[in-house]
Amino acid sequence: MYYGNSPGGLSAYFTDILLFVGMLIIPLLAQLGVSLTFSKYSKVHSSRGLTAEQVARRILDLNGLHDVRIERVGGKLSDHYDPRDNVVRLSDSTYGQSSVAAIGIAAHECGHACQHAEAYKPILARNKLIPVTSVCSHLWFYIFIAGCIFTFLPFLRYVGIVMFCAVILFQLLTLPIELNASRRAMKTLENDCILEPSELRPARKVLTAAAMTYVASLASSFMQLARLLMRTRR
């Protein structure tokens, strides 16, 4: 994209470069942070000796979710709750582990199961966006580029931006859902005495680091939106 040789054009050029670098680095730093934090507290084992899947089963049963299954999946930190199959899936780095890090992650995923069971409103709102967001996330870039290539169809650039905004809206709705699941996890771990008071802080640090990956992803998307708007003005 040509910005010209004027001071304003050079300023826009460097702003675009800074935004692009930020888009790449911020999510990487957040991912590195959660990986390092999880690795650190994976060495801190729960004094009660409960494993992550045992804690997950206990939390689910205490909330009346006896029908929610727990499965093991490959990978590291690939833990998730799948509402379609009604199953909490714990990764190799979590399942069978008795560390406060693994227990915190398992409790977080159970928090999502509880959210779905009680029809948590932010999840209902986000679910309504899934079909639209799925299409927008795959097509917005191509439509925006088409608007840049075919200059006689400039409106396509705005269509692409609007579609990208739908993706950002989905991310905005996802963030409070993740934070709420973590709050539920910490409350349960404390109130049900699953972790000792001294073990709660490490577990919270793991969940906070995990939440920062969603914050970083959202920040990266806003940087991308700023770049798109700059290019459209040019």
d(CA 72, CA 106): 11
Q: Which of 53, 71, 109, 118 is catalytic?
A: 109
Contact 195, 46 (CB under 8 A): yes
Contact 152, 161 (CB under 8 A): no
| Burial category of 89 from C-beta neighbours within 10 Å (exposed 0-12, middle 13-18, buried 19 and up) | buried
Place of tokens 């269509």: 159
Bridge partners of 104? none
Contact 48, 200 (CB under 8 A): no
User: Has 109 been annotated as catalytic?
Assistant: yes
DSSP per-residue letters across 74-87: SSSS--EEETTTTE
d(CA 15, CA 9): 10
Tokens of 232: 């459209």
Tokens of 200: 């709660």
Active site residues: 109
